[in-house]
Chain A
Amino acid sequence: MRPRGKAEGRPWLRALEVLRNCPSVIVHAVLLMSQRGRHQESKTKLEISPSETMKAEEENYKEEDKEPKSEDWRPPSVFGAADLKNRAVGLYNIGQTCCLNSLLQVFFMNIHFTKILRRISVPVCGTQKKNNVPYQMLLLLEEMQRGKQKAVSPRELAICLLAHRVTMFVQYDAAQLFLTLWNLLKKQMKNPELVEKLSDLYTIGVQEHLACQICSSETKRNSSMLTLPVPLLDSGFYMLKTLEECLQCFFHPEELTGHNMCFCEHCGKKTPFRQCVKLVHLPQTLTIHLKRFCFGRSAYIHKISSCLPFPQDLDFNEVLTEQQCQAYDSEKAAWQYELFAVVAHSGSTSCGHYCAYIRSLTECKWYCFNDSLVEQVSWDDVKSTYGHSDLSWGQTAYLLFYMKKHPQ
């Protein structure tokens, strides 16, 4: 388990210390992080934390200090020259960071995101600079766009993330890491306007309905999500055929009966409920998480590698019915999406590799980001991430990023 709390928090602090100061060389047991002969050793063996909610992260996180707001403000919706500079540049894998690298690429290739990132205020003092995720991301982005190198190392950012308990050198679940990264970004951007923009860019608004089947009393709750976690199997454990079907399945009402019955305050007892999720709002960048897991009889989780085609163009008005939406027509009119990026996973649940297929928004070409290797590819290559039932180690799409065609 990942360390929690202050007392347990020590190992990672120690790791960080080791990372920064270790002077000796232990060949055959050396962790290489540095470019300039600064080498570190890491003996910390941290395991993957299975389910880490950002709540826990928030509790542990200590607001460091209030920083002066920067006056660096440009009018929105106009991209500066720098914003359009998003050449595809690789990121070195510095030890199982393929997952982080893929996600960073998805962030950096999104000009709507970099537009926000470039406007953050620069922290004043050194430690703040080092521990500020948005700032480190911006530095990395600048380094990528400035240099003529084919790849750069995300080392500083990795150290910064380590300071926020995002351990490196372990296998990550991309969806979870995406959430972690995003929450860190949101928290550390001091400018409320930017935070709002970031939320607008990524969060999905849904309304959860819970209705008692006996007295018909209904409770509604609005909530926002960062990803739409769609199932690949329907309630009868049959494989769904397309992404559209998965989305329909996600928004399909569920009957809570038997063991799943809930307590109804009106009836004063446990009653069958009907639960459903209605779509209220879709953001500029929509993230869909394909739940490619299947729980076998034992605790063993295995990966579903069968084929699931996803379209390049997605119109939510065609996918969802009137009842599944709770939005105005003007909002719904903008629900036309175009595929922007695919984070693909190859391997099994216990070990694997991530790479990202991203369509450059400025050039309109697909690129494949395999750590330090970046290559222009075609839609057919992206299609190869649909999955194959006969290739259990092949690459399969895991996170899909869709971009609104006509930004409001």
Chain B
Amino acid sequence: MAQWQEVQQLPPTHLERVHQLYTNAALPMTVRQSLADWIEDQDWQQAAEPFSSHARMLFHSLLTLLGEQLGSLGPGDEDFMLKHNLRKARIDLQAAFEEHPENFANLVANLLQEERCILRRAQAKGQVEAPPAPSTAPQSSQEREIQQRLAEFRTALQEAERAFRHMEDLQDTFDFSYKMYYLPGQDHSHDPQYAQHVQALQAKLQSLDRQRREVVAQIQQLLGRSETLRDFLQQELSAWRERQQRSCLGAPTDTCLLQLQGWFTALGEGLFQLLQLLRAVGELRQKVTYEQDPLQSELPLLEKRLQEQLTCLLQSAFVVEQQPCMPNTPKRPLVLRTANKFCTRARLLVRLHDRNHRMEANIHIDRDPPKTRGFRKFNILTSSSKTVLVGDSPREGLVCDFQYLTLKEQKGGGSGKGSRGSNEGPLAVTEELHLITFTLAYAYCGLELKLETSTLPFVIISNNNQLSSAWASVLWFNMLSPNPKDQQFFSTPPPAPWPRLAEVLSWQFQSIAERGLSREHLQMLAEKLFGSKPSPESALPWTKFSKDGAAGFSFWAWLDGILALLHDHLKQLWKDGLILGFVSRKQEKKLLKVKRSGTFLIRFSESMLGGVTCTWVEHPESGPPAFRAVVPYTAAELASLALPDIIRDYQLLAEENIPENPLLFLYPDTARDEAFGPYYSQRHEGILTKKKEYLNQRLIRVSSRQPLSPVCCGCATHMSRGATVGSPGQCPGVIGHCAPLPAVSSPPMAPRCSAVSWGERRVVTSPSSTEPRPSNNEGTRWEREGAMWRDDVTQRSVMSR
């Protein structure tokens, strides 16, 4: 936008300064206003140099333009004052500066500079909202700074171009005069006119020399500016890289590249423009040169400096926009399965290209593989080269998008089936890191470069059951590796400091179930891992995270089991905060102790993979409160019956065989139906009068209270569960079932025992609009398998036999 326009849009306080500026200036504001564009377009600075012929020329052009302006104004009265003012200004100016037009040039140059000063000050205070960028998002100060610097860079570039054009003019005049008047071969010692010509020629050469030095100084200055700008962009880019790495781990961050692309392109454009300018300057030097020509010595240096900057800018502008990812596991990028499709995308942030030049991008996997024994080698099966798509909209940009890639392992030559064993490297398959490198042959404006960028290291698996541990490796690497290309990271994986790990774990829950881990959750996990309150120095070694575990599975396997369960069955409950989740038994007691009977909470099982359970409190008439927990439900159970429904219909059979639901209040004290009401599955009201071949059936969960019975109640449960689930071993507490049962009043806290005393069963019952069921439904109820599962002790014991 033109400077004068910007000036007029200044807020009042700053506008006041502009008025002050013009009150005492010999240039009336009317003139500034009516010839705004022309005035801003001239090089007054240059004209202000002493003995510049340019000043006179400009001064007279201004007077002529003023005359034209006067003539173009209509004869009407509306412009009367304006006409008067302009006419007066013209006469005044002529009188004041006719003798010394360079003073006038100096005056205008200073005025323009002052205006720019005021504008800058106003912008610095953020009082001028940049109208051409209607960005609604609040910009950080860094972003504003970059934008302002880019604008300044463009202005300075325009100034340099103007200076260049002036230099061109000077050179042309000099060149012409030189060819006309300079005749060294002859003897001119007696020709006074010749001496005059030569003197004039010398003066011309001097002003040319001065202008050349000026242009060189301006380009030096521009290069200095762009270095700072590049620093800024580099900072922003590395911040983006960090964001991308975090977002790969599931952190909720913005990884949009559009703004960066805009900045990189703007700077790239400016630098390429500067390159063109430098070349044009070089051409001028080819035509005229002289001893101590500043271009002779300075140009090569400037060119080298500029090319280096451009190269650096372009190199860093080539980024992997999308890390390799399989479409079917979008939340877990960087884990690829052989023979499965995956995609990855790179982008050149400097959106400048030559339409006639076909840019081709190539990808290579593991170009410099680490020299580790047994390091698997892969081939990219689909085409590994692609022409860069050039979209016209900025959203598209210069993108090379590889969509349907698959990997295939190279089989070692001559190795039979048994060779795998001998080839086995020190690293597990899921700890082996691979890289894809993008290369791009870039050419623009005569600058040819080979750009290169690499993806983050990824893990290649051949079976889906490796996914979980592969993801653990990806987490560990991106959390801790100082070098984003270190393929040998897992030869000595560092331990993870707890605060960092806690954050990353929370992101897992955030990304999969849309709710991160709370402070209490993390507290519990830390206690589980470190046995005590974590200090900021606590760190978890890699093996303890992903390999060893007391319960037969590692910490990560346990956590990932919970993540899978949450993702498949409990997402909504978790998201809405109904699942307390990570509560240690000690903490659980502490929480429930002070609550009324029937208060329950939902937590994850610590003893099995992917289990969730309810614990409730009962306050007997005498004695300490008792805590009861159901054997954890796993994905298999939840697949047939959702947790809210289990909770709603959960029944406990007391000795008197009167079923009751012990789950009354969700911790801290929300009534069960109020908390879970929205999640209950829709019940079809059975219209009993209507003739139907079958009535609807419904599954509910029942446990029986068998505190004092000598018969082992749990066995039936476990058997039944075994029958349904298909693996009796999964059920904790099979062993020791028949041991004498402890009294209910002394709540058994050892995990196995508590499972024993609270057997659980599955009952199929029939439709059931209301509870308790109407007696006329009994028949149906008995027709179904329910007979088999009739909750009574005798049958159960029969079953178990």
A38 to chain B, nearest CB (A): 9
B562 to chain A, nearest CB (A): 44
Residue B221 at the A interface, CB < 8 A?
yes
A residues near B224, Cβ cutoff 8 Å: 346, 355, 368, 370, 381, 384, 395
Selected contact of B290 from candidates A30, A34, A370, CB within 8 Å: A30
Flag if A32 contacts B206 (CB, 8 Å).
yes
A381 to chain B, nearest CB (A): 5
Flag if A27 contacts B220 (CB, 8 Å).
no
Flag if B294 contacts A95 (CB, 8 Å).
yes
Residue A371 at the B interface, CB < 8 A?
yes
Scan residues 97-138 of chain A and give those whose CB is less than 8 A from a CB of chain B: none
Flag if A92 contacts B210 (CB, 8 Å).
yes
Selected contact of B202 from candidates A39, A372, A391, CB within 8 Å: A39
Scan residues 179-198 of chain B and give those whose CB is less than 8 A from a CB of chain A: 182, 198
CA distance in complex: A371, B214 (Å) = 8
Flag if B292 contacts A370 (CB, 8 Å).
no
Q: A37-B203, A92-B213 are in contact. Are A391 and B297 (CB under 8 A)?
A: no
B residues near A32, Cβ cutoff 8 Å: 205-206, 209-210, 292
A residues near B210, Cβ cutoff 8 Å: 32, 92
Residue A347 at the B interface, CB < 8 A?
yes
A145 to chain B, nearest CB (A): 16
Flag if A148 contacts B110 (CB, 8 Å).
yes
CA distance in complex: A393, B225 (Å) = 14
B180 to chain A, nearest CB (A): 12
Residue A25 at the B interface, CB < 8 A?
yes
Flag if A27 contacts B178 (CB, 8 Å).
yes
Residue B548 at the A interface, CB < 8 A?
no
Residue A172 at the B interface, CB < 8 A?
no
Selected contact of A42 from candidates B289, B291, B294, CB within 8 Å: B291
Selected contact of B291 from candidates A31, A352, A368, CB within 8 Å: A31
Residue A53 at the B interface, CB < 8 A?
no
Selected contact of B225 from candidates A34, A169, A381, A390, CB within 8 Å: A381
B229 to chain A, nearest CB (A): 9
Scan residues 28-67 of chain A and give those whose CB is less than 8 A from a CB of chain B: 28-32, 34-35, 37, 39, 41-43
Closest-by-CB residue of A relative to B300 is A351
Flag if A393 contacts B45 (CB, 8 Å).
no
Residue A363 at the B interface, CB < 8 A?
no
Q: A92-B210, A95-B294, A391-B308 are in contact. Are A353 and B220 (CB under 8 A)?
A: yes
- As a 0/1 sequence over residues 370 to 408 of chain A, the CB contacts with chain B under 8 angstroms (1 = contact) are 111101010011011000101111110000000000000
User: In which size bucket is the chain A interface?
Assistant: 35 or more
CA distance in complex: A143, B305 (Å) = 33
Flag if B231 contacts A25 (CB, 8 Å).
no
Residue A150 at the B interface, CB < 8 A?
yes
A residues near B232, Cβ cutoff 8 Å: 380
Selected contact of A393 from candidates B199, B290, B294, B305, CB within 8 Å: B305
Closest-by-CB residue of A relative to B109 is A150
Selected contact of B297 from candidates A34, A96, A375, A395, CB within 8 Å: A96
A residues near B206, Cβ cutoff 8 Å: 32, 34-35, 37, 39
Scan residues 24-51 of chain B and give those whose CB is less than 8 A from a CB of chain A: 45, 48-51
Residue A93 at the B interface, CB < 8 A?
yes
Flag if B182 contacts A27 (CB, 8 Å).
yes
A residues near B294, Cβ cutoff 8 Å: 93, 95
A296 to chain B, nearest CB (A): 19
CA distance in complex: A182, B290 (Å) = 33
Flag if B312 contacts A391 (CB, 8 Å).
yes
Scan residues 366-393 of chain B and give those whose CB is less than 8 A from a CB of chain A: none
A residues near B145, Cβ cutoff 8 Å: 380
B residues near A31, Cβ cutoff 8 Å: 291-292
Residue A235 at the B interface, CB < 8 A?
no
CA distance in complex: A89, B232 (Å) = 28
Residue among B182, B198, B228, B312 with max Cβ neighbours from chain A (10 Å)? B228
Scan residues 159-192 of chain B and give those whose CB is less than 8 A from a CB of chain A: 178, 182
CA distance in complex: A37, B227 (Å) = 39
Closest-by-CB residue of B relative to A39 is B202
Residue A298 at the B interface, CB < 8 A?
no
Q: A25-B198, A39-B202 are in contact. Are A394 and B305 (CB under 8 A)?
A: yes
A159 to chain B, nearest CB (A): 15
Interface of B is mostly: helix
A residues near B225, Cβ cutoff 8 Å: 381
CA distance in complex: A393, B309 (Å) = 9
- As a 0/1 sequence over residues 209 to 247 of chain B, the CB contacts with chain A under 8 angstroms (1 = contact) are 110011011101101110110011000000000000000
Selected contact of B220 from candidates A30, A370, A392, CB within 8 Å: A370
B763 to chain A, nearest CB (A): 72
A143 to chain B, nearest CB (A): 12
Residue B201 at the A interface, CB < 8 A?
yes
A residues near B297, Cβ cutoff 8 Å: 96, 351
Residue A149 at the B interface, CB < 8 A?
yes
Flag if A30 contacts B228 (CB, 8 Å).
no
B residues near A370, Cβ cutoff 8 Å: 217, 220-221, 224
A87 to chain B, nearest CB (A): 12
- As a 0/1 sequence over residues 278 to 309 of chain B, the CB contacts with chain A under 8 angstroms (1 = contact) are 00000000000111101001101100110011
Residue B106 at the A interface, CB < 8 A?
yes
Flag if B290 contacts A28 (CB, 8 Å).
yes
B residues near A96, Cβ cutoff 8 Å: 292, 297
B311 to chain A, nearest CB (A): 9
A residues near B223, Cβ cutoff 8 Å: 346, 395
Selected contact of A353 from candidates B49, B106, B289, B301, CB within 8 Å: B301
CA distance in complex: A377, B226 (Å) = 12
A39 to chain B, nearest CB (A): 5
CA distance in complex: A390, B315 (Å) = 11
A residues near B216, Cβ cutoff 8 Å: 93, 371
Closest-by-CB residue of B relative to A153 is B210
B residues near A390, Cβ cutoff 8 Å: 312
B residues near A150, Cβ cutoff 8 Å: 45, 48, 109
A residues near B49, Cβ cutoff 8 Å: 149
B residues near A28, Cβ cutoff 8 Å: 289-291
B106 to chain A, nearest CB (A): 6
Scan residues 262-306 of chain A and give those whose CB is less than 8 A from a CB of chain B: none
CA distance in complex: A31, B201 (Å) = 13
B155 to chain A, nearest CB (A): 11
Residue among A34, A384, A392 with max Cβ neighbours from chain B (10 Å)? A384
Flag if B220 contacts A35 (CB, 8 Å).
no
Q: A391-B308, A393-B308 are in contact. Are A353 and B298 (CB under 8 A)?
A: yes
Flag if B308 contacts A149 (CB, 8 Å).
no
Flag if B291 contacts A392 (CB, 8 Å).
no
CA distance in complex: A34, B220 (Å) = 24
B residues near A371, Cβ cutoff 8 Å: 213, 216-217, 220
A residues near B51, Cβ cutoff 8 Å: 35
Scan residues 143-173 of chain A and give those whose CB is less than 8 A from a CB of chain B: 148-150, 169
Flag if B291 contacts A347 (CB, 8 Å).
no
A residues near B289, Cβ cutoff 8 Å: 28
17 contacts between A and B (CB under 8 A): A25-B202, A27-B290, A32-B205, A35-B206, A37-B206, A39-B206, A41-B291, A90-B217, A93-B216, A347-B301, A355-B221, A373-B217, A381-B228, A384-B227, A384-B228, A384-B231, A391-B308
Nearest 8 A/B pairs, CB to CB: A393-B305, A384-B228, A371-B217, A370-B221, A373-B217, A32-B209, A384-B227, A381-B228
Extra pairs beyond A352-B301, A381-B224, A394-B308 (15, CB < 8 Å)? A25-B198, A27-B182, A31-B292, A34-B206, A37-B206, A42-B291, A149-B48, A149-B106, A346-B220, A370-B221, A373-B220, A380-B228, A393-B304, A394-B227, A395-B224
Residue positions of A touching B, CB distance < 8 A? 25, 27-32, 34-35, 37, 39, 41-43, 90, 92-93, 95-96, 148-150, 169, 346-347, 351-353, 355, 368, 370-373, 375, 377, 380-381, 383-384, 388, 390-395
Residue positions of B touching A, CB distance < 8 A? 45, 48-51, 106, 109-110, 145, 178, 182, 198-199, 201-203, 205-206, 209-210, 213-214, 216-218, 220-221, 223-225, 227-228, 231-232, 289-292, 294, 297-298, 300-301, 304-305, 308-309, 312
